[in-house]
Copies of this chain bind each other. A is one copy, B any other.
């Protein structure tokens, strides 16, 4: 009897996981709802008991993934001693997180931007939430004079661009390497870019 909520969660999760697998193979648009159903081991119609439609499936992946990202992220960032170290940790967090699940990363890198046209608010919110958190780190660093001055959202956007580009390259690459291997590179690139100009 207390099985129902549990089973519900299970099935919901299985569907989401199936969706990630299916979407990552062919991209969101090429994927049929029945592909998701097969990957999840449920009937087509069952998906509609848990999600309003196919779009909501993608939106949910974005939102819950970002929830997980920040849940783990906050722990990781909390132990940083200053904004500079926090930024370094953010870089490694971002790349490590995506690097752990190539299929998930594929969905994020290939379909997130693209979905802005049809998921509207959802994609926007996911991106904004990320940027605002990064901007906040930058602002604290700027106050301490450790980061270059300037619009923190714009700077956050460029930091995001660096990491996003590395992740996309990794996802689309046919070579076999770990995304984590790019962490030092990214850290030094971002580190330098945020450095305040020498007093000179």
Q: Is A157 an interface residue (CB 8 A)?
A: yes
The answer for the CA separation of A169 and B98 in the assembled complex, in Å, is 21
- Collect the chain B residues with CB atoms within 8 Å of residue A29's CB: 29
- Collect the chain B residues with CB atoms within 8 Å of residue A114's CB: 27, 110-111, 113-114
The answer for the CA separation of A7 and B150 in the assembled complex, in Å, is 51
Decide if B111 touches A158 in the complex (CB within 8 Å). no
**Given contact pairs A166-B158, A193-B190, A150 touches B185 in the complex (Cβ within 8 A):** yes
Total copies of this chain within the assembly: 4
Query: Chain A: interface secondary structure?
Result: helix
Q: Is A154 an interface residue (CB 8 A)?
A: yes
Give the number of residues in A that approach B within 8 Å (Cβ atoms). Answer: 42
The answer for the CA separation of A92 and B114 in the assembled complex, in Å, is 25
Given contacts A190-B193, A192-B195, list 9 more A-B pairs with CB under 8 A.
Answer: A110-B113, A110-B114, A111-B114, A154-B182, A157-B165, A157-B166, A158-B162, A160-B165, A193-B193
Q: Is A168 an interface residue (CB 8 A)?
A: yes
Decide if A110 touches B118 in the complex (CB within 8 Å). no
The chain A residues found within 8 Å of chain B, CB to CB, are 26-27, 29-30, 109-111, 113-114, 116-118, 124, 148, 150-151, 154-155, 157-158, 160-166, 168-169, 172, 182, 185-186, 188-190, 192-195, 197-198
**Given contact pairs A29-B29, A30-B117, A185-B154, A165 touches B166 in the complex (Cβ within 8 A):** no
